[in-house]
Amino acid sequence: MLKLRYHSEFKKSLKLMQKQGKNMSLLKDILTLLVEGRSLPPKNKDHALKNSRLYHEVRECHIEPDWLLVYRVNGDTLELIATGSHSNLFS
């Protein structure tokens, strides 16, 4: 089982998602799978980010169609980097 580490950007962006009324149980379900080292379902479109100077060895998955989770597994730690829409995260 992986330990969780929350980056400050994740904490900030999570508060914004909560204010927007996002369903936090969807995020919790994904985090449970990731912490247990299990694969995400295909609907979550989990993939490595490519050609990104900001994020090295980082993955992204879809919680909802335009709600993303950016994370990295580093040894025995699941690092939660950011969450938000495509436009918030990559513009």
**Sheet strands side by side (includes 3-6):** 3-6, 77-84, 67-74, 59-64, 47-48
Q: pLDDT by residue (tens digit) across 52-76?
A: 666 668 999 999 999 999 999 999 9
Q: Which domain holds residue 60?
A: 3-90
Q: pLDDT by residue (tens digit) across 1-53?
A: 999 999 999 999 999 999 999 999 999 999 999 999 999 999 999 999 886 66
Count helices and strands (H / E) in the chain. 3, 5
Question: How many separate domains does the chain show?
Answer: 1
Q: Among all residues, which ones are annotated catalytic?
A: 86
- What local confidence, expressed as pLDDT, does residue 89 receive? 85
- What local confidence, expressed as pLDDT, does residue 18 receive? 97
- What local confidence, expressed as pLDDT, does residue 50 receive? 80
Query: Looking at residue 68, which CATH number applies to its domain?
Result: 3.30.2310.20
Predicted TM-score (pTM) of this structure: 0.91
How many other C-beta atoms lie within 10 A of the C-beta of residue 9? 15
